[in-house]
Amino acid sequence: MDFFQDATPGGYALAILLLPLAGFLWNACTYRSEFTRKHGHMVPLATIGAALFCAIVIFKHSVFDAEPAGEHGAAAHAAASHEPAAHEDAAAEGHEGAGAPGSLADPRWRWSSKDHGDYYRIIDTGPLRIDAGITIDHLTATMLLVVTIVAFLVHLYSSSYMHGDPRFSRFFAFLQLFSFSMLGLILTDNLLLLFCFWELVGVCSYFLIGFWFEKDEPPKASMKAFMTNRFGDVGFLIGILLVFRLFGTLDLATLYAKLQAVAEGSASIPPLFGWEAGTLLTVAGLCLFMGPMAKSAQVPMHVWLPDAMAGPTPVSALIHAATMVAAGVYMVGRIYFFFTPAVLGFIAVIGTITALVAATIGLVHDNIKKVLAYSTCSQLGYMMLSLGVGGYSAGLFHLYTHAFFKACLFLGAGSVIHSVHTEDMREMGGLKSKMPVTYKTMLLATLALAGIPGLSGAFSKEMIVEHALMWGWSHGAAAMLPALIAIGGGGLTFFYMMRLIYLTFYGTPRDHHKFDHAHESPAPMTIPLIVLAFLSVFSVGWPIPFLGGKKLPELLAPPPALASIATGHAPHEGHGGFLLAFAVLLVSIGVLVVAYRFYQRTYKQRAPGPEAWVARLRPLHTTVRRLYYVDEIYEATIVRFAGAAARVLAVVDQKGIDAVVNGVGAVTQVLAKAGAAFDRVVVDGLVNVWATVSQGLGGKLRRLQTGNLQDYLAFAVGGMALVTLFFLFLA
């Protein structure tokens, strides 16, 4: 039976999507019950574990079972037994032709629920039709696996970390909601639904950052995160509108087909606003990129990420290291076929700037979480850089590997914070002996991050550098800058990460009181650390036993046809060779040595250390420390402007709109009074007049009844006379 020919993947995918939602609803509806208050983590853990299982199933089938039994499949099999060095042959061979494994043209590598008639029509207004379906390809399957693994481990970790918190079950409800949103974002095949889930993820981030809202920082930070994300989402939405206007559809598969037609010349995009097709695509691409720019914390919209560390550490691990910020990178990967070379160049530039700036800031902070946050920001910059220079799979791989080791680092940091009750590294030190598991796992993750060969992080980083070099080589001298910065940034990364490890775990403890209290964390916290460290080392670049001894990259070759449409050239999957890897390794080791010596000299031998350096570089240090004053710039411009605009509008509302409303009220009052007066005077008056007339007339006529006979007689005769007159003269 072929897993993909029937609708079974759809069933698993739907389960992945709905299980966390069910967990969220469960926790939300039963939060008062005894069970949920004490064990609010159990149901969510179960649901996310089941989602993980489904993700594994899908992954296995999409990557493993869907190997075509043809020539190309055999070639791929044959290539699997070679060493990494010979990887290039297989890859080069595998990427020729449209029917190669990994090619989108092979329908087996992309499963869409719409092909099986399974989709949910959300909107159908004639011109606009939104059908919600599920698409599974390699990108989706891998991402699902990564997200569910990290989510499951974070759930496990939180059951211990958040123990004793008064809103324990609510935390898990939010985690579940977030998982649902993130998984939905991955699974959807429609741009508008992607945007919906995008927003939902941002909302969950808002809830989770501001989880401890009694404190000062979290509410401000969550608002800042949400606002910055919204700012980017405006661009995203404009991009979506442009796409719809240009192509009339928001379904990704249809868009791909249409763009393919445009690239082949069989269709064309009509001019709009006086712009030609190329410019239109570029503008749309830039607008669309605004979303990932904000969500993946690229400069200049990175300002929310460090402040987001005010949330609980598991949140930082899940959302702000592994998944949500990665959603931006994922989205760029999804819509990769849409970006023109100009847009890709812009992405590369932004990524480069981010990588460098964030790395420099990470050097000067003392808060362990903030250093990790800037590290995340920098790594995201690397991913964007890679995607911009054409390294599609390199960037995505870096996403996966980064998810694992960054999550490990954050959870480890959380473990340390939990133990010594501080986030300031100046108060730590020498914890190596007290928290051995945490120390070892964090060290492994750091080495992976730094790109030590043999660990997964090295592999993806190396691929990025390679692509950058090739791109720079083919695009001229100035274009070599990203590559150089990639390498240099790698050094900086290693430096500040080692600084972090050293300050935390080595040397003599700077705060003895805290040191004495330090202890290793309980099992639910250390187990995820171990698992993640393991994954950091082995996930990429090593043969995977139970998948038949293949290495991950071989199984997940990217669809080349995507990039070729927009960039005009096929992405290269070859590498610069062994030499480059060695060069990178040398740089890493050199930096390691420098850092170690520097800090060791400083803290053990009291040599002139950082303080002296700080004094020498005071202006630079302050600038970097103050985050390049980006926040201040924002404050002065946008925030002030928004505040002023809000005040103006408030006045308009008060004076203008309220005046109108009050005026209407006053007029109504007047009319009501007039009506009442009318009723009183006229209507009642009429009635009263009647009564008065009757009374008066009656009173007057009563006097006729005098009782006097003669009067009666007089009346009778008078009447008779009148009648006679009448008949005499008038009748």
Partner 1 sequence: MDHTAGCVFLGAAMFVLGVFTMVTRRNAIYVLMGAELILNAAALNFVAFARHLGNRLDGQMFAIFIVILAAAEAAVALGIVLQIHHHFPTIDVSKADRLGD
Partner 2 sequence: MESFSFWFFGACTLIGALLVAFGPRLVHSAFALVLALIGVAGLYWGLGADFLGGVQLLVYVGGITILFIYGIMLTPKGTTKWSASSLLFPGLIAVVPVAVMLHLAWTGLASVLPAASTAEPAATADTIGRAFLTRDQYLVPFELASLVLLSALVGSVYLARRKKES
Residue from 74, 92, 721, 723 touching partner 2 (CB under 8 A): that is 721
703 makes contact, choosing from partner 2, partner 1, none, with CB < 5 to 8 Å by partner type, with partner 1
Number of residues this chain uses to bind partner 2 (CB under 8 A):
11
- Rounded CA-CA distance 253/99 in Å is 18
Q: Give CA–CA dist 631/303, Å, rounded.
A: 7
Min dist. Cβ of residue 688 to partner 2 (A): 33
For the bound state, the minimum distance from the C-beta of residue 713 to partner 2, rounded and expressed in Å, comes to 10
Shortest CB 689 distance to partner 1, Å: 25
x/- mask, partner 2, residues 269-288, rule CB under 8 A, reads --------------------
8 A C-beta contact, residue 450 and residue 494: yes
* Residue closer to partner 1, measured from CB, 270 or 699: 699
Residue 677 or 720: the one with the smaller Cβ distance to partner 1 is 720
665-724 residues near partner 1, rule: CB under 8 A: 702-703, 705-711, 713-714, 717
Q: Do 106 and 99 meet the contact criterion of CB atoms below 8 Å apart? A: yes
By a kind-dependent CB cut-off of 5 to 8 A, residue 513 interacts, out of partner 1, partner 2, none, with none
Decide whether 677 or 721 has the Cβ nearer to partner 2.
721
b/e code 638-661 from CB counts within 10 Å (16+ = b)? eeeeeeeeeeeeeeeeeeeeeeee
Q: Which does 478 bind (CB under 5 to 8 A by kind): partner 2, partner 1, none?
A: none
Three-state SS at 295 = helix
Backbone conformation region of residue 429, classed left if phi is above 0, alpha if psi is from -120 to 50, else beta:
left
Residue 728 contact among partner 2, partner 1, none, beta carbon within 5 to 8 Å by kind: partner 2
Q: In the window 694-713, what residues touch partner 2 (CB under 8 A)?
A: 708, 710-711
Tokens for 142, please give them.
Answer: 């891998």
Residue 702 binds which entry of partner 1, partner 2, none, with Cβ cut-offs from 5 to 8 Å by kind? partner 1
Q: Which CB sits closer to partner 2, 606 or 702? A: 702
Q: Name residue 251's beta-bridge partners.
A: 190
- Where does this chain touch partner 2 (CB under 8 A) — which range of 16-24, 62-70, 501-509, 716-724? 716-724
C-beta of 681 vs 721, nearer to partner 2: 721
Kindly report the backbone phi and psi dihedral angles of residue 703, in degrees, each rounded to the nearest multiple of 5, phi listed first: -70, -15
d(CA 250, CA 336): 15
* DSSP letter, residue 114: G
Give CA–CA dist 66/555, Å, rounded. 10
Q: What minimum distance in Å lies between the beta carbon of 685 and partner 2?
A: 35
Nearer residue to partner 1 within complex by CB, 659 or 713: 713
DSSP state of 407: H
Total number of residues that touch partner 1 (CB under 8 A): 12
Token couple for 183: 């998984």
Q: Is 681 in the site for partner 2 (CB under 8 A)?
A: no
Smaller CB separation from partner 2, 688 or 724: 724
User: Of partner 1, partner 2, none, which one does residue 671 interact with (CB within 5 to 8 Å by kind)?
Assistant: none
Judged by beta carbon distances under 5 to 8 A according to partner kind, the member of partner 2, partner 1, none in contact with residue 605 is none
What distance in Å separates the CA atoms of residue 8 and residue 185, rounded to the nearest whole number? 20
Minimum Å gap between C-beta 693 and partner 1 is 19
Q: Which is nearer to partner 1, 688 or 724 (CB)?
A: 724
Residue 725 found at the interface with partner 2 (CB under 8 A): yes
Q: What is the Cα–Cα distance from 179 to 311, expressed in whole angstroms? A: 17
143 closest CA partner among 332, 269, 371: 332
725 binds, among partner 1, partner 2, none (CB under 5 to 8 A by kind): partner 2
For partner 2, which is the closer residue by CB, 97 or 718? 718
Residues 6+ apart with CB under 8 A from 122: 130, 131, 132, 193
Site mask for partner 1 (CB under 8 A), range 515-544, x = bound: ------------------------------
Which residues make Cβ contacts (< 8 Å) with residue 51, sequence separation at least 6?
15, 16, 19, 20, 148, 151, 152, 179, 183
Q: Which residue, among 94, 186, 134, has the nearest Cα to 571 in the 3D structure?
A: 94
Strand partners, 275: 272
Is 605 or 708 the residue whose CB approaches partner 1 more closely?
708
Of these partners, partner 1, partner 2, none, which one is at the site of residue 122 (CB under 5 to 8 Å by kind)? none
Cα 432 to Cα 592: distance, rounded to the nearest angstrom:
18
For the CB of residue 683, give the shortest distance to partner 2 in the complex, in Å: 40
The DSSP 8-state label assigned to residue 546 in this structure reads G
Angle between helices 168-187 and 191-209 (to 10 degrees): 160
The mark string for 638-657 relative to partner 1 (x by CB under 8 A, - otherwise) is --------------------
Query: What is the Cα–Cα distance from 510 to 507, expressed in whole angstroms?
Result: 9
The tokens describing 26, both together, are 């469960």
Q: Is 660 in the site for partner 2 (CB under 8 A)?
A: no
Half-sphere exposure of 252 (CA within 13 A, CB side): 29
Binding site for partner 1 (CB under 8 A): 702-703, 705-711, 713-714, 717
Binding site for partner 2 (CB under 8 A): 708, 710-711, 714, 717-718, 721-722, 724-725, 728
